[in-house]
Every structure is written in C-alpha cells, then in structure tokens.
Amino acid sequence: MTDAPRACVIGWPIAHSRSPMIHGYWLAQHGIAGSYGKTAVHPDDLGAFMQRVRSGEFRGCNVTVPHKEAVMSHLDEITETARAIGAVNTVWRDDDGRLVGDNTDARGFLSNLDELVPGWDKAPLRAVVLGAGGAARALAYGLAGRGAERITLLNRSLDRAIALAGDIGGVVQARPLDEAGPAMADATLLANATSLGMTGKDPLDLDLDALPLDAVVSDIVYVPLETDLLRQAAMRGHRTAEGLGMLLHQAVPGFERWFGTRPAVDPRLRSLVEADIRSALP
C-alpha cells in the first residue's frame, strides 16, 4: 500500500464532479498528507479498477453514475443500507483487504435537514417524495428509518412508484403525480428527488397551494443552488433545505473511512463549493 492514503471518485464521465474539492478541503484542514482525485472509468474497465483498489493502490473510492449498481458485483461485503437502496456510492478496503460498499445518500439527506432545519423530523412526520428513481429510494429508506408515519411517492409513472413502495414496504405508499394536491394536504415534508428543475433539465411544475405552510420543502438539486421549487416555497414562508448540503454531508463517512478523521461540514466549505457552482453557471 502506498505511504500516503489515496482515494478518488469514479464515474463515466467524471469531469463535473466536485468531490475532489470537498475532500481536498478536508485534507488541507486536517493537515493530512493524502490525496483525493477523480478517475474516469469506462464501464468495461470497472472490474480492473476495483482490482486496483483491492491491491491497496487506493484506500477506497466514491462511485457515481453509471457504476453505482454495477460495482456491487465487485465487492466482498455490502452494508444493509446499500443493499436496501440497491446502489453503492462509497467503497473502502478494510483491514483484511476486503472491499466494502455502502450508500451514504440517505444519511447525507437527513444530516442536511438536521443542520438546516432543526426539528424537521418531530412527530408526526408525513413526507411526500417526488420521484421513483434511485434518489427517491434513498430518501424513502432514510425517512422510514427516522420513523416517518407516512411516506408518499409521487411519480409520473405510477407503476415505478408502486414497485419502489413495495420494495421498501411499511409506511411507503404510491400515488400518481396528478394527485399531488391531496397527497400534500397534511404533509410535514416535501422533497424533490428528481432532476426536474436542474440547470439544463425540464422545470418542475408543481402547485404548492395545498401544502401546509409549516411543512419543510427540500430539493436534492443543487445546480442552481436555489431551484424554482425552493424559491416558490420560500416566498410562501416554508422552511427550506437546498441540495448542496446533501452532497457535502454524504461525503463525510467516506472521508472518515479513508483518512481516519471525521470531518465537519462548515460554512467555509459551503461557500467554497457554492462559489464554484456559481462560476460554472451560464
């Protein structure tokens, strides 16, 4: 194994990733003589790259699209959380040289809400989650673990939402998107888990009139930093949580695994990444 610990983020493509900025900030802050980079890994080369991790060249890696599901077949152990979500975004090499995979998205989402909207999860917690993809699965899993009384998935394709609700079970239910009004009528949390509203994507067209004014509104999209959903919610007086914090908080567990120090998401890091996002906007 190399003397200085190394980690990286892998994906295809990967140039857009801000993970090196986040982990580089923490490495400098804690005076750790390690490195964190980004590596473009073609899907055909995923197995070969994971062998490099297994050999000790890297302490581990973050995993982004399109590898979050495919990487699971190259690991020795998958945490209960990653198995339930069906995807891995964080891999580390343990003391026995085994590769372990976890998913920190649910933790990142919850931690961001804890930081920005303290008390958001007080009972009764009734959540409405927009979407039925991987992000919606992570959010629903995390919210169920927080003791949600009810989690309603709203999606254009009802079949996908029904399938996801069945996978997680318990308090999760599915409704079509055109029933958003009734679904939100007694919600305490509304969370967008789709890419709608992201720069370059279709807008999110959602009427918030039925949402109680004391409900919290969250959006996993962080480009732009304030989406139309969050702007509309803030104008109505809702407490809000942007998506950047989820990105920052989901990075914490991996850094601790690879570099042995638990970092904190502080205002300076937020400002640094915010400035980078703004500079990249047209």
Give the annotated binding-site residues: 17-19, 64, 80, 89, 105, 131-135, 220, 222, 243, 250
38, 68, 122, 201: the active-site residue: 68
Three-state SS at 47: helix
Binding residue positions for NADP(+): 80, 131-135, 220, 243
Q: Where are the alpha helices (DSSP H) in 67-129?
A: 80-85, 105-116
Catalytic residue check, 68 = yes
DSSP tag of 68: T
Can you say which residues are annotated as belonging to the binding site for shikimate?
Answer: 17-19, 64, 89, 105, 222, 250
Q: What is the DSSP string of 135-156?
A: HHHHHHHHHHHTT-SEEEEEES
- Encoding tokens for residue 15? 């140039």
Q: What is the distance between the alpha carbons of residues 229 and 240, in angstroms, rounded to a whole number? A: 10
Across the strands, what pairs with 163?
none
Which regions of 108-229 does DSSP assign to beta strands (E)? 126-130, 150-155, 172-176, 189-192, 216-219
Q: Which residues are catalytic?
A: 68
